[in-house]
Amino acid sequence: MASPLRAAARYHGDQAVAPGMLDFAVNVRGAAPPSWLVERLAGRLGDLARYPSRDDELRACTAVAARHHREIDEVALLAGGAEGFALLPDLRPRRAALIAPSFTEPEAVLAAAGVPFDHVVLDPPYTLAADAVPAEADLVVVGNPTNPTGVLHTREQVLALRRPGRIVVVDEAFADAIPGEAGSLAADPLPDVLVLRSLTKTWALAGLRVGYALGAPDVLDRLTARRPHWPLGTLQLEAISACSHPDAVAAADRSARAVLEDRSAMVAGLTSIGVQVVEGSAPFVLFCVPDAELTRKRLEDRGIAVRRCDTFVGLDGQFLRAAVRPEWPVLVDAVAEALR
């Protein structure tokens, strides 16, 4: 029997942010894309009267393939990493397993499609346990690093999920925010591992919807078989090409190292006021307070948005998630005041 659709599964952090608020709820870095990227996209505005070209699509696929040392037919371009989840029912899984706590979109998509699934809830410190996954699951979805816990699983832990007849889907939406992309399987041409990547966070392109999938050609063919013609627009294809260039990849890694420094300082700040922080590596922090909803509302009253976490399976009303931002001292001071 298929699992029912939870209303909370469709809740996302952007719903917590009103105009003018200091936004720690959404994990997009920066208020706008870098100027060089804006200029490159602006240079294609004159092409919008024409349909997206095969050359643009091939150029984007080639750039992604080169970036991850893959073949072109191991790349499927997506309208944001979330589109990859929307396409999962086309893999025709008999039963899925969702490693939780995790991004809720796979749950929402599978429930809406009538695909039975189980939540495999990890206990703190949220270490991946392959033996906990039901043997009958022929589709397993895991985040790495995981949203919202921020936990980065090792390659060995993720690969231990593999079984004959099973496809392992790895949500690497935040992998480019990890220095050196530690733990990533994006460059591994495995027949039963499907990696989903997003370009919206690092490059502040959430409004453009850009990402891609990496996997075996036959898996990607099944995943994308029912997509419409021209699934991505010209600007999306241009953004994927631009953000996959070696110079952009190097810039993303520099940014990841800077975020890691800010994260360490932010964690130290929260810890100094008595807040328990979940150990992680992502560009966001999951932390525990006695009454998360009351704390969140007090922060909201001060114009600060954080992500509620009671919408995630496996977390209760004691957790909040905050994006790593240079303004973290403002958040720490506000949390300290809210807890008094």
Residues 230 and 249 sit within 8 Å (Cβ to Cβ): no
In a domain, 81, yes or no: yes
Nearest to 263, CA basis, from 285, 287, 289: 285
Q: Please, what sign has the CA dihedral across residues 223, 37, 244, 99? A: negative
One domain, residues 118 and 261: no
The pLDDT-based confidence of 126 (bands split at 50, 70, 90) is very high
Q: What is the pLDDT of residues 76-91, one digit of tens each?
A: 999 999 999 999 999 9
Q: Are 65 and 162 part of one and the same domain?
A: yes
What distance in Å separates the CA atoms of residue 218 and residue 5, rounded to the nearest whole number?
Answer: 29
Last residue of a domain, one of 198, 215, 245: 245
Max Cα-Cα span within the chain: 59
Residue with tokens 């995790």: 102
**What are the tokens at 126?**
């949220």
Helix (H) or strand (E) holding 293: helix 292-301
219 shares its domain with 141: yes
Whether residues 139 and 211 share a domain: the answer is: yes
What angle do helix axes 246-272 and 234-243 make, rounded to 10 degrees? Answer: 80
| Res 323: pLDDT | 98
**Residue range of the domain that includes 330:** 7-31+249-339
Asked if residue 229 and residue 172 are part of one domain, the reply reads yes
Question: Is 39 inside a domain boundary?
Answer: no
Q: Tens digits of per-residue pLDDT, 253-302? A: 999 999 999 999 999 999 999 999 999 999 999 999 999 999 999 999 99
In a domain, 38, yes or no: no
Number of Cβ within 10 Å of residue 218's Cβ equals 10
Per-residue pLDDT band for 100 (boundaries 50, 70, 90) equals very high
Average pLDDT of every residue of the chain:
96
11 is written with which tokens?
A: 């809740």
Is the pLDDT at 178 greater than 70? The verdict is: yes
- In terms of domains, do 77 and 155 share one? yes
Note whether residue 43 is domain-resident.
no
Q: Say what percent of the chain tops pLDDT 90.
A: 95
Tens digits of residue pLDDT in 246-264: 999 999 999 999 999 999 9
Note whether 242 and 248 are within 8 A (CB). Answer: yes
The mean pLDDT value for 88-104 works out to: 97
Burial class (CB in 10 A: 0-12, 13-18, 19+), 272: exposed
In whole angstroms, give the CA distance from residue 144 to residue 282.
9
Residues 123-127, mean pLDDT to the nearest whole number: 95
Are 226 and 287 found together in one domain? Answer: no
pLDDT per position as a tens digit, 229-239: 999 999 999 99
Q: How many domains does the chain have?
A: 2
CATH number at residue 316: 3.90.1150.10
Task: Tell me if the bond preceding 125 is cis, omega within 30° of 0.
Answer: yes
Q: Residue 42: pLDDT above 70?
A: yes
